[in-house]
Amino acid sequence: MTSAGRCEPSDSGNAAALRRGRLAHARATCSVLALIAALGAIPGAAVAQVVPDGRTQTTVSGNGSANVNVTTQTISKGAGFNSFSKFNANPGQNVNLHLPKGTGAIVNIVNGPRSQINGAVRAMQNGKVGGKLYFANPNGVVVGPSGSFQAGSVSVSTPSQGFVDGFFDKNGRPRAGAAGQLFDGTEPLSGAAIEVDGRILATDRVRLRAGGDLSISGTVS
């Protein structure tokens, strides 16, 4: 007999309680793993990091893999154009931005969160690194210690949100005035920062324009 105010379960009750405890633990473990996977904390998780926003005829293949290839059919004045809602590169990942045949530049407008470049972002011309690479994000760009931009020439900027919003017309064509400003380095800037802890590699020229802080502790060459 048990004393008042105290409960001592029988052996069968202990077994049932143990089973319930194990089930609850298993469910909690599954929930934690699902949350970690959703946040991309599990190495190798196939999370889309390069996402077109539909304003250009951009195709992305290999998202979440070691080699991501980006092509576009939006061409104007000798350059190809991409527009993204998100653009990041994971460690060990190559994001290859292919210049359309017959063009000399690839323009990449990111209308989304700050870009975290922890892999290699490369302009690819005729099957090798080359051409002019323009990368613009109004919310900022961080090149991590393992990250890089690679091209013949590299231009990274933080243009104003209004400039990005109006860069393309309703048919997805780049507005000539806006494209000209980007090429000339005269586009209006936001207050966002550019941080380079990794590498920017160009055989010709590098141009970095930020309305906020411009921090370089990595290599620019």
Tokens representing residue 127 in the block: 């099957």
| pLDDT the model gives residue 13 | 52
pLDDT tens digits, the chain, 221 residues: what are they?
Answer: 443 343 334 454 555 544 555 545 445 444 444 443 444 443 444 567 999 999 999 999 999 899 999 999 999 999 999 999 999 999 999 999 999 999 999 999 999 999 999 999 999 999 999 999 999 999 999 999 999 999 999 999 999 999 999 999 999 999 999 999 999 999 999 999 999 999 999 999 999 999 999 999 999 99
Tokens representing residue 69 in the block: 């290839």
**DSSP bridge pairs for 122:** 96, 150
77, 53 Cβ separation under 8 angstroms: no
What is the reported pTM?
0.80
Backbone angles phi, psi at 34, to 5 degrees: -65, -40
Backbone angles phi, psi at 96, to 5 degrees: -100, 115
| pLDDT the model gives residue 48 | 73
208, 194 Cβ separation under 8 angstroms: yes
| pLDDT the model gives residue 1 | 41
For residues 101 and 80, give the distance between their C-alpha atoms in angstroms, rounded to a whole number: 9
| pLDDT the model gives residue 195 | 99
For residues 195 and 190, give the distance between their C-alpha atoms in angstroms, rounded to a whole number: 15
Tokens representing residue 65 in the block: 């893999």
